[in-house]
Amino acid sequence: MSTCSTVSRELDEPVAGTAATARTWLLLEQSGPWGAKALTSSHLDPALGRALEAATKGTGVRIALIRRPGRHADPRTPATRRVYAAHTVPGNTWLHTAATTDPERLLDLDFAALGRGQSDTFDAALGGRPHEGDPLALVCTNGKRDRCCALLGRPLAAELTASGVQGVWEVTHLGGHRFAPTVLVLPHGYAYGRAGAHTVQEALHRLREGRILVEGCRGSSAWERPGQAAELAVRTEAGEYAAEALTVVRTDGAAPRWQVLVAHVDGRRWRVEVAQGASLPPRAESCGTSVLGAPARMDVVAVREVTVTALAS
């Protein structure tokens, strides 16, 4: 049986520059079944889900539901839920956590401040504190969104948990069903596609050491998609894998071509030319649709280190 993920894999569709965009992630524990739009089709009060969607719009905050790996036929939500907030922009990367019995308290958050990377609103509203455990590995498993996420994501989450990996959660949606299983690691916000257990374990191991695994990486959610591709290209070109080393300073242009300026903490700069192409041949981008399309791809055309003088010209 052909699925969107098997077709993408067979065509060797590139994964770089395909990560969901979010400066800040807000995660709420919600067990039980999830619908395609989980915030309004789960055991979470749909009115609260709609209010959270409205409150986060345009703030740089992306909200998702999480649950422990395992069976989810129809269990009721535990009285106390885990909540996480993670800011992914280098230089101000953090992961805070809280526990709440009343998810409506999330509406007390200043979402604009949260999107700017201010953790104090999370701590004040929910009694949050810095997360002291291992990095989080969020595995997309929402089969109602796309069957590939359940068929490939749930076994991956189960395998990671059974092997003793800490910080594993199932998550409602990370985008890019055709790259299933998809995984997001926090706090740094790097996403991975076609991820096996070894890849996730290696990504978490490196992250604990403050380094990024580039193989299989879709990009950092802190940047728009041209910036994601550009940053990964500079990491490969410069052999730089320190998590906090690179920042996307500026992106000029518009589809289908951009000039992206990537900066190193040591002062070096690179100008990266990124072109938007189409992944051919046309096919269904998700198992949930029969509409044929050619998914956009981010192709790095050139990577050039530049001097301060060149930047000023």
- Render pLDDT for 182-230 as a digit per residue (tens, 0 to 9): 999 999 999 999 999 999 999 999 999 999 999 999 999 999 999 999 9
- The pLDDT score that the predictor gives to residue 78 is 64
Find out whether the peptide bond into 33 is cis, omega within 30 degrees of 0. Answer: no
The pTM (predicted TM-score) of the whole model is: 0.93
Q: Rounded mean pLDDT of the chain?
A: 91
The vertex-230 CA angle with 227 and 233, nearest 5°, equals 150
pLDDT band at 175 (very low <50, low <70, confident <90, very high): confident
Handedness of CA 159, 191, 286, 38 (dihedral sign): positive
Residue with tokens 């949930």: 288
Summarised one tens digit per residue, pLDDT across range 220-264 is: 999 999 999 999 999 999 999 999 999 999 999 999 999 999 999
- The pLDDT score that the predictor gives to residue 30 is 94
d(CA 40, CA 37): 6
Give the number of other Cβ atoms within 10 Å of residue 112's Cβ.
Answer: 15
Summarised one tens digit per residue, pLDDT across range 98-126 is: 999 999 999 999 999 999 999 999 999 99
Which residue, 226, 297, 299, 295, is CA-closest to 258?
Answer: 226
d(CA 289, CA 27): 27
With beta carbons less than 8 A apart as the criterion, state whether 205 and 217 touch: no
With beta carbons less than 8 A apart as the criterion, state whether 235 and 227 touch: no
The two tokens of residue 176 are 């890019």
d(CA 277, CA 14): 11
The vertex-196 CA angle with 296 and 298, nearest 5°, equals 15
- The pLDDT score that the predictor gives to residue 72 is 61
Q: Is the pLDDT of residue 286 over 80?
A: no
pLDDT band at 303 (very low <50, low <70, confident <90, very high): very high
Q: What percent of the chain has pLDDT over 70?
A: 92
Q: Is the pLDDT of residue 73 over 60?
A: no
Summarised one tens digit per residue, pLDDT across range 122-147 is: 999 999 999 999 999 999 997 666 67
Helix (H) or strand (E) holding 175: none
* Section 288-312 average pLDDT: 82
Q: Is the pLDDT of residue 86 over 80?
A: yes
